[in-house]
Chains A and B, each alone.
Chain A
Amino acid sequence: MAWLSRPLTLVGLVILAHGCYSAYEHTLLASTSVQHPASPAAAALPLDIYIETIVATFLICLGLVLGTGAPEPIQWHTWAGKIEREADKRSSLAGNADKEALGNPYNALEARSGFINIHKLHGDFVKYTQQLSK
C-alpha cells in the first residue's frame, strides 16, 4: 500500500487547493454582485465546496498515514525478541549514533564493566595472539 501514499497525498493537495480557490472565487463573486447585495443566503458557500474540502483533507490524511513505516514494537517481549534476533548492520562509526538501538540494555549488567579484571583480560589476549601466530 506504500506506493499509494504519495499519489493519494498529491491528489488530496490538488483537490484542497481547488476547494480553497473555489471558495475564494465564490465569496468574491457574491460580494461584487449587484443584484443580491450581501444577502446571507448568497454569501454562504455551496455544499459541494464543503464536501470537496472535507474529502481532500481525508485523502491527505489517508495518504500520510499509509506512507508511514512499520511501527516499532511496544510490547516488551516483542521488542526484546527483536533485539535478540536481529544483527546490527550499521557500521560502528556511523554518525547517527544517537538514533540507533543499543541492543539488550541489561547486557551491561552482566558484563560488569565496573569490576573488569584488566590483568586477566590482557593475559588471555596475549595467549590468544600466541595461539593465532602458531
Chain B
Amino acid sequence: MPPLLLRPHASLSHAEALQVAQQAPEFLRKNPASYSASPLFSLFSPPENSKTWTIYENLLLACLRTGDYTTAHQCLERLVIRFGGNDERIQALKGLVKEAEATDNSELEKVLKEYEAILANDNTNVPISKRRIALLRAMGRTAEASEALVQFLDFATTDAEAWIELSDLYLSQGLYAQAIYAQEEALVIAPNAWNLHARLGEMLFMAAESGSDGNPQAYLAESLKRFCRSIELCDDYLRGYYGLKRVTDKLLDKDLRQKKPSDSDEVTLPETSTIEQLNLAATKKLGDIVRKYDAKDPLWQGYDSGEVAAARACLSESSQTVVR
C-alpha cells in the first residue's frame, strides 16, 4: 500500500485520516507557500514534484474531515496561489470547503445555488458537476442526484468514476439490475481493474442473495466468473478469493438442497467438480494469506487487517461445518 498521504482520501479510515491531518501543519511548514519559475529560487527551495499537489489536496480533505478549518484554508490558499481561483478543480475544492463549513440545510442550498450558477456559465465543468451531484445525494435528494448523474454521463461517457458512483447510488436503493449495468459500463472503461471485477462479483452475489428479481442461479454463475477474473488479473487477491469462496460455498450448498438442474436453460453453471475445485483452491489460498499475514511475513503485510479478519472468520466457519 502506498503512503497514507498519497492514498485517495475517501479510502482512509478515521484513525488514518486523523494521522494525515496531524501531518498537515508540518507539511505546510516544510514546503514554501509558492513556487517560483525563476531558476535562482529553485536553487534554494525544495523542488516541486508531481506528488506535492496530490498531497495538498489530501491534506485539505483530511483537515475538513477532522474539522481543522484553519489548516484547511491554508492548504486551499496554496492551491489557489499555484493554480488560480478559476481552475475547475480548485473551484470544486472551494465549494467542498464551503460545504464542510455549512451548518444547516439553508447554507447547503446556497452552495448548491453557487454550483448551479457556475454550471449555467459552463455546463461541461466536470468537477463542479460532480460536486453538485454529490451534494444532492448528501442532502438526501437521491432521485435528483441520479437524474443529474445520468445527464452528466450523457456528455462524459468515459468517466469511470461517475459510472461507479451511479452504480453505488442504484445499489443503495436496491436496484441491483441497474447497479450491475452501471458497474459493467465502468468495467468497459477500465477492463483491467481487478478491484472493479471483484466489486461487480460482490454486487451480483448481493443480487442473488436478495432474490428480488431475476434468476439467483444466473447471478451466482456470473458472480463466480467475475471473481475468477479478478483473481486472474491479480495474484493472491484476498478480496477475490474471499468472494470466490463465498460464491462456491453458496453454489455447492444449493446443489445439495435442490438436486434438479437449474430452472432455466440459459444458465450455464460449471460442473460441480469444477466448483468444488475452485472452492478448495480458494480455501487453500485464504489459509495461506491468513497464515502468512499472522506470521508477520514482511512480504505479506499489505492486506487490510479487517479483510484478513473476515477471511479468518469465514475459514473457521467452514472448517466447523466440515467437522460436523
Contact = CB atoms under 8 A, between A and B. Distances in A.
Whether A associates with B in a native complex is yes
A112 B161 contact: yes
B118 interface: no
Contact of B14 (A107, A116, A124): A124
A81 B234 contact: yes
A117 B160 contact: no
Interface string B52-96: 100000000100111100000000000000000000000010001
Interface stretch (B3-11, B217-225, B261-269): B3-11
B303 interface: yes
A3 interface: no
Interface stretch (B37-45, B191-199, B206-214): B191-199
Contacts, number: 169
Interface residues of B, number: 69
Interface string A79-101: 01111111110111110011011
B302 A88 contact: yes
Nearest to A98: B49
A131 to B, nearest CB: 9
Given A114-B127, A115-B161, A92 B4 contact: yes
B203 interface: no
A12 B130 CA distance: 62
A134 interface: no
Nearest to A94: B3
Given A80-B235, A87-B1, A106-B190, A116 B10 contact: yes
Interface of B: 1-11, 14-15, 17-18, 23, 26-27, 30, 49-52, 61, 64-67, 92, 96, 99-100, 102, 108, 126-127, 130-131, 133-134, 137-138, 160-162, 164-165, 168, 186, 190, 192-196, 199, 232-238, 298-303
Closest 7 CB pairs of A and B: A81-B235, A92-B3, A80-B234, A111-B8, A87-B301, A106-B193, A103-B2
Interface of A: 76-78, 80-88, 90-94, 97-98, 100-104, 106-122, 124-126, 128-129
